[in-house]
Amino acid sequence: MLFKSILATLFLTALPALAALPSGVVTCGSNRYTVSAITVAINAGVRDMESGNFPDDYPHQYYDEPSEHIQLWCSGNGPWYEFPIMPDGSIYTSTSSHYVSPGTDRVVFTESGTYCAVVTHTGAATYDGFVACDND
Ligand code: 2AM
C-alpha cells in the first residue's frame, strides 16, 4: 500500500517533466500566446511538412543547443522542428511573390506534432540565438 502510494507520488512528481502544453499564456518579449494559438501554429507546421509546403524554409529542424539553455518539454531525442508563431494570430505563410517575415517567435515540436517549447529571438544572448519564452 505504502509502496503503491510512493510509486504514485513519484509518477505524479515526474509528470511535469513530460508536460504536454503550457499551463497558461506564454510571453515572448511583449507578444502573448494562448495554448490554443500555440496548438494552431504547431498543427500548421505539421500540415506544411506533410504537404511539402515550406514557406521561407519553415518548418525546419530545431537543434538543442546547450548554450541556449532551453528546456524541451517533450520526451525523446528529436528530430525537433520549429515553425513561426505570429503575434497577430495569423498562420505563417510566405511565397516567392509575397515574402512574409517569420518574425521573432517559434513553436518547437516533434515530427508528430507533440509540443516541445516556444522560443524567441527577443532577448536572446546572440542575434541569431533563441531563448525560451516565459511560461512556455
Ligand atoms: P531561425 O531560422 O528560425 O531564425 C542562423 O544560424 C539561424 O539559426 C537563425 O536564424 C535561427 O533560426 C537558427 N537557430 C538559432 N538557434 C537555433 C537552434 N537551437 N536550432 C535551430 N536553429 C537555430
pLDDT on residue 20? 83
Using CB atoms within 10 Å of the CB of residue 26, give its burial: 0 to 12 exposed, 13 to 18 middle, 19+ buried: buried
* Listed residue (135, 134, 104, 106) closest to 119, CA to CA: 106
Give 7's Cβ-side CA count (13 Å radius).
4
DSSP secondary structure, 37-102, as one string: HHHHHHHHHHHHHHHT--GGG-SEEE---GGG-PPP-S-SS--EEEEE--TTSPPP---SSS----
Ligand 1 first shell, C-beta below 6 A: 62-63, 65, 68, 82, 106, 128-130
Output the CA 12–ligand 1 centroid distance in Å: 34
pLDDT on residue 7? 47
How far CA 130 is from CA of 8, 53, 61, 85, 135, in Å, comes to 36, 24, 14, 14, 15
3-state secondary structure of 135: coil
Give the Cα separation of 81 and 67 in Å (integer).
18
Reading the chain (136 residues) residue by residue, the pLDDT tens digits are 555 554 455 454 555 455 589 999 999 999 999 999 999 999 999 999 999 999 999 999 999 999 999 999 999 999 999 999 999 999 999 999 999 999 999 999 999 999 999 999 999 999 999 999 999 9
Output the CA 117–ligand 1 centroid distance in Å: 14
